[in-house]
């Protein structure tokens, strides 16, 4: 905390207790209170969150950024445990310009509730697999998750005449109707990891990249076939309130159904996001295949692991190292159950006829390049995978509470 910052501390278990109101305690006293916290009783999730919102609301000031930081396993067991009621209560306070950041602790926390609340609350969502990573979140991230970049963000994607909208990864608030998809975000915040050697059991998450899959229509059209999509961005400057807008068209150098020879990025920052996206797709495909065919699952992991390692030879990144460790662990578990593949040259050869990789394809032999759009190879026959990543970067003066 810096001069002028104010922090309140609320403890909740079976009941709720305000240990310190805003500005009532010194940093040393707050440290002492936190050191004395112990797991006790149940989890009055609703009561603890509502109390935090009430404190923030009572002290609202247009010159300060008000934010509630919720640390929990996200499993309500006392008080009002209805998740819809929790979300509705939070929405009321969030609509009054009070932000919410959620930090999920442990491997069994309620991902849907904690992430959904953070998205509604214009905040970041963190997953702490191990308690030791809490220090990293608060020391490395405090300057970021209390700093809004843009307010009232609206992103709309309209597919080109030869394309259709597919799966969207990066938000659960996305809505698709026909050829148009959109998402409304109350605010956008910076997120950063400054540690060069994060704990392998530490936190994951923070910010987000939005990936929208567009795939060629079966019928296709001769009208502007290389126009993939139109993107409309609307937001308000977090400092001045000025309404800003940007419209761009996404085009492909190849016609629909023609796979590009090389992956391409309009900005270097997209390379890591695309690699992480593909690692996720491969892990998901392997998990789905493992339900019925261990050999097929291992083949997918061999493919995704080889591609990720090739990427790491050019761009070393600790998050991708963590993904590789997960891929290796998954592969070892499958081999322990008798899974086998002949080689990595035909990674899907072992898949059973019942498993269709075209439904949710992992990426193939993509090659990553420096330069927020990317086009890469997909596994679908006669088709290609197009991923659109949107990055918004603004400058804003800090407002803190």
Tens-digit pLDDT profile for residues 333-356: 999 998 887 654 444 444 544 444
**Is 244 part of any domain?**
no
pLDDT band at residue 260 using 50, 70 and 90 as cut-offs: confident
Comparing 69-78, 242-251, 316-325, 345-354, the range with the smallest average pLDDT is 345-354
Residue 54 has pLDDT above 80, yes or no: yes
Is 26 inside a domain boundary?
A: yes
Average the pLDDT over 164-181 and give the result: 88
Residue 398 is assigned to a structural domain of this protein? no
Which is more confident, 42 or 63?
Answer: 42
- Give the end-to-end CA distance of the chain in Å, rounded to a whole number: 10
Residue 231 scores a pLDDT above 90? yes
Percentage of residues of the chain with pLDDT beyond 70: 74
The reply to whether 106 falls in a domain is: yes
| Whether pLDDT at 319 is above 90 | no
Q: Is residue 363 part of a domain?
A: yes
Domain annotation covers residue 283: yes
pTM: 0.67
**Domain final residue pick, 72, 95, 123:** 123
**Six-digit token pair at 215?**
């795939």
pLDDT for 146 equals: 59
Residue 203, pLDDT > 80, answer no
**Is 282 inside a domain boundary?**
yes
Mean pLDDT of 189-211: 55
| Sequence-separated (6 or more) residues with CB below 8 Å from residue 24 | 8
pLDDT confidence bin for 318, thresholds 50/70/90: confident
Q: What range does the domain containing 113 cover?
A: 9-123
Q: Is the dihedral of CA 253, 259, 265, 270 positive or negative?
A: positive
Which has more pLDDT, 345 or 278? 278
Of 90, 123, 156, which residue constitutes the final position of a domain? 123
Of 262-266, 270-274, 348-352, where does the model show the most confidence?
Answer: 270-274
pLDDT digit string, tens, across residues 124-147: 777 777 767 777 777 665 666 556
Residue 192, pLDDT > 80, answer: no
Q: Does some domain include residue 161? A: no
Q: Which of 88, 123, 158 is the last residue of a domain?
A: 123
The pLDDT of residue 156: 96
Q: Is 236 exposed, middle or buried (0-12, 13-18, 19+ CB in 10 A)?
A: middle
Tally the domains of the chain.
2
Whole-number pLDDT of residue 360: 39
CA 377, distance to chain mean position in Å, is 23
- In 217-292, at which residue ranges do the beta strands (DSSP E only) sit? 227-237, 243-251, 264-265
| Position 275 confidence tier, pLDDT thresholds 50, 70, 90 | confident
- pLDDT the model gives residue 202: 47
Q: What is the 3-state secondary structure (H, E, C) of 286-321?
A: HHHHHCCCHHHHHHHHHHHHHHHHHHHHHCCCHHHH
> Hey, which residues does 205 pair with through a beta bridge?
126
Parallel, antiparallel, or unpaired for β 125-128 and 99-105? parallel
Cα 190 to the center of its chain, rounded Å: 13
Q: How far apart are CA 372 and CA 387, in angstroms?
A: 9
Please count the other Cβ atoms lying within 10 Å of the Cβ belonging to residue 39: 6
| CATH number of the domain bearing residue 79 | 3.40.50.410
């Amino acid at each position: 905390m810096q001069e002028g910052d104010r922090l309140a501390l609320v403890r909740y278990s079976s009941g709720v207790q305000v240990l310190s109101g805003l500005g009532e305690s010194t940093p040393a006293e707050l440290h002492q209170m936190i050191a004395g916290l112990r797991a006790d009783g149940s989890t009055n999730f609703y009561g603890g969150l509502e109390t935090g919102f009430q404190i923030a609301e009572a002290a609202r000031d247009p010159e300060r950024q008000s934010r509630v930081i919720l640390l929990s396993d996200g499993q309500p067991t006392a008080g009002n445990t209805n998740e819809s009621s929790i979300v509705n209560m939070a929405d009321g306070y969030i609509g009054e310009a009070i932000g919410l950041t959620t930090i999920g602790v442990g491997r069994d926390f309620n991902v849907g509730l904690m992430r959904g609340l953070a998205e509604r609350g214009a905040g970041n969502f963190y997953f702490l697999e191990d308690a030791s990573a809490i220090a990293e979140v608060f020391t490395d991230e405090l300057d970021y998750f209390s700093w809004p970049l843009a307010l009232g963000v609206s992103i709309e994607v309209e597919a080109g005449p030869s394309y259709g909208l597919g799966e969207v990864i990066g938000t659960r608030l996305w809505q698709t109707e026909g050829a148009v998809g959109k998402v409304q975000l109350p605010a956008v915040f910076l997120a950063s990891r400054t540690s060069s050697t994060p704990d392998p059991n530490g936190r994951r998450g923070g910010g987000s990249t939005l990936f929208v899959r567009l795939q060629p229509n079966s019928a296709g059209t001769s009208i502007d076939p290389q126009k993939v999509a139109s993107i409309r961005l609307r937001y308000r400057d977090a400092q001045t309130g000025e309404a800003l807008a940007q419209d761009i068209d996404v085009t492909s150098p190849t016609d629909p159904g023609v796979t590009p020879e090389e992956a391409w990025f309009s900005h270097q920052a997209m390379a890591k996001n695309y690699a992480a996206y593909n690692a996720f797709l491969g892990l998901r495909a392997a998990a789905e295949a493992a339900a019925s065919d261990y050999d097929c699952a291992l083949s997918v992991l061999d493919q995704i692991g080889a591609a990720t390692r090739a990427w790491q030879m050019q761009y070393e990144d600790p998050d991708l190292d963590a993904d590789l460790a997960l891929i290796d662990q998954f592969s070892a578990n499958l081999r322990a159950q008798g899974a086998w593949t002949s080689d990595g040259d035909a990674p899907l050869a072992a898949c059973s006829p019942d498993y269709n990789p075209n439904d949710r394809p992992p990426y193939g032999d993509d090659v990553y390049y420096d330069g927020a759009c990317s086009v890469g190879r997909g596994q679908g026959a006669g088709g290609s995978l197009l991923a659109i990543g949107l990055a918004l970067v603004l400058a804003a003066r800090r407002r803190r509470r």
